[in-house]
Structure 1
Amino acid sequence: MSSSPHHHPGVGCVELSFEWPDGDRLFTNLQVSFGPGRTGLIGLNGSGKSTLLKLLAGELTPTGGVVRVSGAVGYLPQDVALDTGLRVDEVLGIAGIRAALRAVQAGDVREQHFSTIGEAWDVEERASGVLDDLGLGHVGLDRTIGEVSGGESVLLRLAALLLARPDVLLLDEPTNNLDRQAKRRLRAAVAAWPGVLVVVSHDRELLTEVDRIADLRDGGISWYGGDLTAYEEAVAVEQEAAQRMVRVAGTDLRKQQRELVDAHVKLARRRRYGQKMWDTKREPKVVMAQRKRAAQVSAGKHRIMHEAKLAEAEERLAEAAEAVREDDEIRIDLPRTAVPTGRTVLTARELRLCHGAQAPGGFDLHGPERVALVGPNGSGKTTLLRTLAGELAPLSGEAVVHVPLRFLPQRLDLLAEESSVVANVARFAPGSTNNRIRAGLARFLFTGERADKPVAALSGGERFRATLAALLLAEPAPQLLLLDEPTNNLDMASTRQLSTALASYPGALVVASHDVPFLESIGITRWLLLDGALRETTREEVRAT
């Protein structure tokens, strides 16, 4: 990694190549530069977004090429657990300065304390201000990480970066596991960032705060001005043009195929005519031999010309098809998962959960209802789902499920890593035939060799689809699905596929999520807020929180 004076802060790479120890190559001669402003870095799961951020941050070493940095870089990785024994001021990187301040205030005037403090005499006030901005004003500097929630620890790591004031800020999926209020505060911090910012995210609301979109695809980056909405509009125009080119190229290819067939028919007729002339010997042999040779040369040229045109047409079609993005959709038109209207699906009465959350009066679920379970981090949504799924016993009350159900937890650890997708689904449906399982997997975009891949070799999006397939193709067919933060770590294409899939699922749903646009896309019919107690709410109220 090389650095230069930061008159113009930025980060980028020149002819960067990177491959993993197993030989899997992600980048070859990648050229990219991120300058002032906010950039949203998006791409499919497995395209290398997080790896690129680690390379830019110096966490990984390129196989080839160079990373160039101008200015100080701050990096917020995805899902890095902090030591629960750390104090908040240690996470913020100001513990040493605070200790020096205390020493000076106590009368210790050794030079080392003044050297440690430098210009940071107001560091505690600045730290408190940053924590307030992120909604962490209640978190004291002497508290330990073990006393704060997972979402708060993410915001604390961001607070440490904001306090350090780097020239370049790199954020990797910062809104994962954050509740609505925390997401809103993070969006405000992103919107107010004055320097260079690159954020990897699939969060639609966060991506409305960026100035440009960088789309990482097939080892290269395409740039789009504006936020996510502008990007999607531009891609829609591009894809319409690409589809049109495919149609034009396909029409031309069929024309060239017809012309080649016609040419072969004409040449066959000429050969038959020449043979007839030879057989009847109407002309001298010398003349006939000359004509035959000329005809063969002409036929050869004719055939080569048409074959060349056909090859060109095939190449044009292939090039046009490459510009069209795969937008395959998962289909869950599984009739055995349907729930009749009015059928009682779930009954919960006076539940008191393991961690103290309560559902006074309980609630019922009827027919193919679609329930969104919302609430702040730590309110007990996962605990409630696990209780409904029968994984946890309530402290009191009862939850009775009247139809077959399946639970998709946040951690996608239901599948055996070394087994194939087919073998994993077979575990959930032991009475099903191989052909039936493969036919079902095709609905989830696992066809042929894809269905035989081991789970360990799947990308994040593929792993999610495989887990969803295993649950939905299970026996008995689930008529109630419980989903816990299903869009965490899914790219936007996979989220779109999941939305389409759940829109066609005819059973009942209970989905815990902070992702309101996703919940709206799957046709939620009821909104339940869990925050100390469980109560009915509205989409408008959830959006306002």
Structure 2
Amino acid sequence: MSSSTPSAASVVCSGLHFAWPDGTSVLEDLHLTIGPGRTGLVGLNGAGKSTLLKLIAGELTPTEGSVRTTGEVGHLPQTVHLDTALRVDEALGVAATRAALRAIEDGDASEENFAAVGDDWDVEERSRAALDQLGLEHIGLDRTIGEVSGGEAVLLRLAALLLSRPEILLLDEPTNNLDLAARRRLYDAVGSWNGVLVVVSHDRDLLRRVDRIADLRDGEVRWYGGNLDAYEEALAAEQEAAERTVRAAEADVRRQKRELAEAHRTLAKRVRYGDKMYATKREPKVVMGARKRAAQVSAGKHRILHEERLREARERLDEAAEAVRDDDEIRVDLPHTAVPRGRTVLTLRGVELRCGARAGLDLHGPERVALVGRNGAGKTTLLRTIAGELAPVAGEAVAYVPLRYLPQRLDVLDDALTVAENVARFAPEATDNRVRARLARFLFRGARADQRAGTLSGGERFRAALAALMLAEPAPQLLLLDEPTNNLDRASVRQLTTALESYEGALVVASHDIPFLREIGITRWLLLDGELTGVDPL
């Protein structure tokens, strides 16, 4: 995996502004230059990372400003959809070249065929090598894609990009839906890249393979040399210094308040003394009046001086506080959904899935099951079958408690509706105030609740979908989650983990994120590989 002319490639954003048609602003006056090397673009969900990549790729048009790229750009979006009717070579973008090559081999030496082939005489070898590199050797070039898994769709799209040999490669959450073996292949590909590469990801292992970190925050990018570990070390030092500054500023404000209070006491004392002298007439009236006015003026100046110092101290405190990151995190308040220990929650009897896999299972509350396996093994198909969205080829899946299913692609939302309207669809009896109160806990406050779902970032879309799921009636006693950490920033993953720790129902989670699975207290690990079998923790 390499680019042809890495030293000449670059990305320059000048005065970049972007807002959605409804007026929601995403980026304002952004200036950014990206040269050769591997750049990890990080930031909170909704900061504009995916939007920035789409602007660089030319898929979105800036509201103001400009984006200039030197070199061909390849973009792997956060969500990949492939037409299942396509042949693999069509998905890879080499169908026309292959057809022309075969025509020449069959004796049709027309100019059009030679023009279509160009210098790409080894197109088939390169295509198979790209598939092999990404673990897709089982998918032939002449086969139709069919219902590939989410992970295989990502890998096919990435293979197509590698075949086009871009000088600038943009990857948006590329490890989403990839199994462990596929992630390692992607890590190797990123590690060998020598052109311009920009990767948006919450995958710690992937971000450890970049050369620098670009932190997009409040519409500005701050650069940090080194990989994720170096970035977090530098950020921790910055935050420690910022917190020391805040403590010093708070102490200064307290001192200025004390001195201002003392100034008020001094003024009051001088006024009382002047009134007393005036009342006893110990000195001529003119002299006493002059002294009283002088004392008042002097004390007044003293008070004004301390008031000004207090105002300045408060301003310094505000500036110091702004430097301390207090990132909002989703605060998922799961409803009380306790399931008695030992109660049967779900039964799979002789279930055969559409993909050919078989599954048998008895799940008792409040068990926590991790569903693992390679891409294409049928994990999503199994969850959809349990949820009742797909009928099994044979057998039956019976749930004995209310369940909710959060799909991998978060397609439970209607893009044309606002966040609040989407949530209200799942809870028609809930008042608007209740809907908005719940959404506020998912960081959709005020106008953000009126943002259309189609304009949300991946992490925002997850929050909206989870809010809709948890507000639905009845509340779930069985949660089915399909790759729930995809598209979430690290702060949101931590908060989701905390929320699920307090959930008292049964849980089935399909995920390749092993650290996340360990943190949420999985009690049983199941591997889907033709059959559903128990495995030891990975």
8 Å contact 2:36–2:197 — kept in the other structure? yes
- Superposed counterparts of 1:172-211, under 5 Å: 172-211=172-211
- Name the structure 1 match of 2:75: 75
**Partner-residue secondary structure (3-state), 1:51:** helix
Aligned 8 A contact 1:357 1:380 in 2: yes
Q: In the alignment, does 2:519 pair up with 1:521?
A: yes
- Shift of residue 240, structure 1, vs aligned partner: 2.7
| 1:478–1:124 CA distance, 2 compared to 1 (3 A) | closer
1:264 and 2:276 correspond:
no
Could you say which residue in structure 2 is the equivalent of 1:141?
A: 141
Q: After superposition, what is the alpha-carbon deviation per residue over 1:281-319, rounded to whole angstroms, capped at 9, x for unaligned?
A: 332232223223322322332222112211122112211
Shift of 1:400: 4.0
The corresponding residue for 2:387 is: 389
Whichever residue aligns with residue 74 of structure 2, its letter is G
Do residues 478 (structure 1) and 476 (structure 2) align? yes
**1:515 offset after TM fit, Å?**
1.9
The residue aligned with 1:364 is: 362
Q: 2:408 corresponds to which letter in structure 1?
A: Q
| C-alpha deviation, 1:212, in angstroms | 1.9
Q: How many angstroms apart in 1 are the aligned matches of 2:255 and 2:488?
A: 43
Identity of aligned residues (%): 68
1:332 Cα shift? 6.1
Give the match for residue 543 of structure 1.
Answer: none
Is 450-459 or 183-192 further displaced after alignment?
Answer: 450-459
Distance 1:185 1:526 in 2: 28
- Paired residues of 2:71 and 2:166 also in contact (CA < 8 A): yes
Aligned to 2:87: 87
Separation in 2, partners of 1:474, 1:372: 24
Deviation for aligned residue 1:49: 0.9
Contact 2:347 2:362 in 1 (8 A): yes
CA contact (8 A) 1:29 1:65 kept: yes
Deviations 1:323-378 (A, max 9, x none): 2222455566768333454444333333334554311xx32333432211112333
Distance 2:378 2:106 in 1: 45
Deviation of 1:220 (Å) = 1.0
Distance (whole Å) between structure 2 residues aligned to residue 439 and residue 372 of structure 1: 32
Q: Which amino acid aligns with 1:232?
A: E
- Give yes or no for contact 1:177–1:488 (8 Å, CA) kept in 2: yes
**Superposed CA offset, 1:403-443 (max 9, x none):** 443332334455677567599479649589968x8887676
Q: Which moved more, 1:162-171 or 1:321-330?
A: 321-330
Letter in 2 for 1:256: Q
State whether structure 2 residue 118 is matched by structure 1 residue 118: yes
Q: Compared with structure 1, are the counterparts of its residues 310 and 374 closer, same or farther at alpha carbon in structure 2 (3 Å cutoff)?
A: same
Q: Deviations over 1:249-268 (max 9, x none)?
A: 22222222232222222222
Q: Structure 1 residues 82 and 63 mapped into 2: Cα distance closer, same or farther (>3 Å)?
A: same
Q: Is the 8 A contact 1:415 1:455 kept in 2?
A: no
* Secondary structure of the corresponding residue to residue 171 of structure 1: strand
8 Å contact 1:428–1:471 — kept in the other structure? no
Q: Answer whether contact 2:213 2:225 (CA < 8 A) is retained.
A: yes
Residue of structure 2 equivalent to 1:169 = 169
CA shift, 1:453, in A, is: 4.9
Q: Matches of residues 504-519 of structure 1 in structure 2 within 5 Å?
A: 504-519=502-517
Task: Name the structure 2 match of 1:18.
Answer: 18
| Deviation of the 1:535 alpha carbon | 0.5
Structure 1 residues 20 and 182, CA gap change in structure 2 (3 angstroms): same
Answer whether contact 1:387 1:399 (CA < 8 A) is retained: yes
- Conserved in 1, the CA contact under 8 Å of 2:423 and 2:467? no
Whether the 8 Å CA contact 1:337–1:506 is kept in 2: the answer is yes
Aligned residue for 1:45, secondary structure, equals: coil
Where does structure 1 lack aligned partners over 5 or more consecutive residues? Answer: 541-545
Alignment check: 8 A CA contact 2:80 2:153 kept: no
The aligned counterpart of 1:279 is 279
The AA in structure 1 aligned to 2:288 is M
How far apart, CA to CA, are the structure 2 residues paired with 1:24 and 1:454? 8
Counterparts in 2 of 1:194-343, with a 5 A limit? Answer: 194-327=194-327, 336-343=336-343
> 3-state SS of the aligned residue for 1:313?
helix
Per the alignment, residue 377 of structure 1 pairs with: 375
Give the aligned length.
532
* CA distance in 1: counterparts of 2:293 and 2:467, whole angstroms: 64
Counterpart position of 1:97: 97
Matched residue type, 2:117: I
Structure 2 CA distance for aligned equivalents of residues 107 and 397 of structure 1: 54
- The answer to whether the 8 Å contact 2:6/2:194 transfers is no
Following superposition, the deviation at residue 197 of structure 1 comes to 0.9
CA separation of 1:401 and 1:32: change in aligned 2, threshold 3 A: same
Specify every segment of 5 or more residues in structure 2 that has no aligned partner in the other structure, as ranges: none
Separation in structure 2 between the aligned mates of residue 423 and residue 157 of structure 1, nearest angstrom:
30
What is the CA–CA distance in structure 2 between the aligned matches of 1:148 and 1:401, rounded to whole Å? 27
Question: 8 Å contact 1:260–1:303 — kept in the other structure?
Answer: yes
**Kept in 2: contact 1:354–1:395 (CA 8 A):** yes
Q: Give SS of 1:17's match.
A: strand
What is the TM-score normalised by the length of structure 2?
A: 0.87
Deviation at 1:536, TM superposition (A): 0.6
Superposed CA RMSD in Å reads: 3.3
Task: Provide the rounded CA distance (Å) in 2 between the counterparts of 1:99 and 1:455.
Answer: 44
Checking the alignment, whether the CA contact within 8 Å between 1:426 and 1:432 is kept in structure 2 is no
Match of 1:40 in 2: 40
